[in-house]
Amino acid sequence: MSSQLEKVKELIDLRAKARLGGGEKAIEKQHTQGKYTARERIALLVDEGSFEELDMFVLHRFTNISNSSKPPLSSSKPIPLPAEYLL
């Protein structure tokens, strides 16, 4: 397999991890409280394909995180951006 394909697969895996935000436990906690995650709320509000998330891999700059031993892969906030702005 070419190194380019390996890098694409690695990026796909990183995106999947970033979409988990704080992890499966955090998502389950939201659901047990009767809440949706930010990405789920956006998916309910916008048409499919009309939303593109930017800066998915933004991380915290500080290292003193009291509630977790390591920060989530993504600490960005999903913001709906119409697809026509991305052209």
Is 0.75 topped by the overall pTM? Answer: no
The pLDDT tens digits for 8-55 are: 999 899 888 888 877 888 899 999 999 998 888 888 888 887 777 777
pLDDT, tens digit (0-9, with 9 covering 90-100), for 48-73:
877 777 777 776 665 565 555 555 55
| Burial group, residue 38, by CB count within 10 angstroms (0-12, 13-18, 19+) | middle
Half-sphere exposure of 53 (CA within 13 A, CB side): 19
| CB atoms near residue 74 (< 10 Å) | 21
pLDDT of 5 reads: 92
Cα(47)–Cα(29) distance, integer angstroms: 26
Residue 19 CA to residue 27 CA, distance in Å, equals 10
Quote the pLDDT of residue 69: 58
